[in-house]
Structure 1
Amino acid sequence: MTVDEVLAQLAELDDPKVRAVNERHGDDHGVKLAALRSLAKGLGTQQELARNLWGAGDTAGQLVAVLICRPRDLGEQELDDMLRHARSPKVHDWLVNYVVRRSPLAEALRLRWFDDSDPVVASAGWALTTDRVARKPQGLDLAELLDTIERDLSGAPARLQWAMNHTLAQIGIEHEEHRARAIDIGERLRVLEDYPTPPGCTSPFAPVWIREIVARKAG
């Protein structure tokens, strides 16, 4: 299937009601994610098609590209360029979660992005740091991470703040020796304390998030 054929199928799947909801979150596409995933599953892994779809610049097409690419075949500079052009929140999140995290270059990119002057790029570095806190904390200075969070969390732009807050919560959840300090930082900074949380979901307010997940794991 060609790029034009994929984009034509996505255009047929576009639902104005879905688009209106997505646009409120900064995502300019109207394709239900289940339909988008189904289309990608039918295509299978196609690296060249993925590159061409990404280059077309269509948000729904880029989401399909993320699902059909082969992460190991993407170089560090290519992934860096992709992230810097992924301005849609959903494309950004899927690129980090489905591609970069599965790449052997994940750690190099984490270090490259962590202190980037672009807060959206830096948020990807923090997302990868959260993953390391949970899965492979060896070599991370968790106390230093908490120092940085304590200093910068309150004034960080929204997407970077969200990612830093996730790291804060993950440190508290996974590392008992740092839990009290993580909770204390959250309680003093009050970041996301009033974030609207649907019934049955966990609040992103770090002290609540930490205590709830720790309690679940214990019981």
Structure 2
Amino acid sequence: MDKKLLTEEVIDQLVADIKKHNENERLQMIDWLMANQLTKDKKTIALIESWEDNQSSLKRRIYWYFQGRLRWTGQPQPNSEELLNKIESKIEKEKPEVQWAMNFTTGWIGVYEKKYRNRCIALGEKTGLYKGKMVSKGCTPEYLPEFIVIESNKRKL
């Protein structure tokens, strides 16, 4: 894939094609597209950053997953408080595929930015997202109170 040819129109067609797949495949493909193609060029990163309120839930997922991945890969951002305000007001009304990415972003903010840790844990307790969800051995639960404690302890943060 030539990232220089990835215009908004081409991405819209890719998203439309991806939507035709079952949920599991759809989410794997959209996450792969974001991580391996869209984040490799400043032009497509600018597009991602404009998708927070896009009508496409898959584009909104990309926006939020990108925000979380920045933090997960050790690139703290200055807009964490603003993002948390938006997540707190929107997460419970969002589609599940977007909720997951918002939860992911909240988790990594809570891990790396100690000043927001209690707020992120409280959000997880309030929403209850992924509470009690079974995970494979060696994997970290997605429930924010558990995720943040485990991941911040691993990093001694």
TM-score by length of 1: 0.62
| From 76, 79, 84, the counterpart of 2:11 | 79
Q: How does 1:46-61 map to 2 (within 5 A)?
A: none
Matched, 1:180 2:118: yes
Separation of aligned partners in 1, 2:17 and 2:52: 17
Separation of aligned partners in 2, 1:89 and 1:206: 20
1:110 Cα deviation after fit: 1.9
Q: Tell me whether 106-115 or 177-186 shows the greater mean CA deviation.
A: 106-115
Matched-pair contact (CA < 8 Å) for 1:123–1:163: yes
| From 121, 127, 135, the counterpart of 2:65 | 127
| The structure with more radius of gyration | 1
Separation of aligned partners in 1, 2:71 and 2:53: 17
Matched-pair contact (CA < 8 Å) for 1:106–1:128: no
Could you list the per-position Cα deviations for residues 42-82 of structure 1 after superposition, in whole angstroms to 9, with x for gaps in the alignment?
xxxxxxxxxxxxxxxxxxxxxxxxxxx233x2233233442
Matched-pair contact (CA < 8 Å) for 1:120–1:160: yes
Separation of aligned partners in 1, 2:71 and 2:43: 17
The structure with higher relative contact order (CA 8 Å, sep 6+) is 2
Matched, 1:109 2:40: no
Matched, 1:97 2:35: yes
Matched-pair contact (CA < 8 Å) for 1:172–1:180: yes
Q: Number of residues paired by the alignment?
A: 149
Separation of aligned partners in 1, 2:36 and 2:103: 21
1:91 Cα deviation after fit: 1.8
1:84 Cα deviation after fit: 4.1
DSSP-derived class of the 1:218 partner: coil
Unaligned runs of 5+ in 1: 1-68
Could you list the per-position Cα deviations for residues 185-219 of structure 1 after superposition, in whole angstroms to 9, with x for gaps in the alignment?
11122111122212221101111111101111119
Partner of 1:190: 128
Partner of 1:162: 100
Unaligned runs of 5+ in 2: 20-25
Separation of aligned partners in 2, 1:169 and 1:157: 18
Partner of 2:22: none
Give 4+ residue runs of structure 1 displaced > 6 Å after superposition: none
Structure 1 vs Structure 2: percent identity of aligned residues?
23
